[in-house]
Amino acid sequence: MSTAQITIPLDLPDVRVLQTQLTAQGEFIITVESTLSSARCHRCGRVIRKSHGHDDWVIVQHLPILGRPVYLRYRPSEAVPVRRPQGVCPRAISSRYRKFASEWADST
């Protein structure tokens, strides 16, 4: 005998569900990823189309489902440095690589 299942939309645009889990504590953890192929730099507004991998996992609380806590789990993309006339936009790359940004800008 199979377990009954229901489908509930997350109503989050540009997001794909990769996995759902029900923990021993009765919490839902939904692992998602973005379906967008680009993003905008928060500082200069330019479009970023290249990713340099992913940052650490982030877990945020979403709205409850059937009275149970729900958490969304995702890994933000790390953007490749964006060349600008003034050099590299420091917000276009992750904090892990920020210290190399000025060296990279000077060498290009």
What pLDDT digit, counting tens, does each position of 75-96 carry?
887 665 555 545 556 555 555 5
Name the β-bridge partners of 87: 84
CA 7 to chain centre: 23
Residue 5, domain member (yes or no):
no
Which of the residue ranges 10-14, 93-97, 102-106 has the most confident prediction, judged by mean pLDDT?
10-14
SS3 11: coil
Number of structural domains (the chain) is: 1
Residue 65, domain member (yes or no):
yes
Residue 7, domain member (yes or no):
no
Residue 6, domain member (yes or no):
no
86: amino acid identity, one letter: Q
What residues make up the domain containing 46?
A: 15-107
Residue 49, domain member (yes or no):
yes
Residue 9, domain member (yes or no):
no
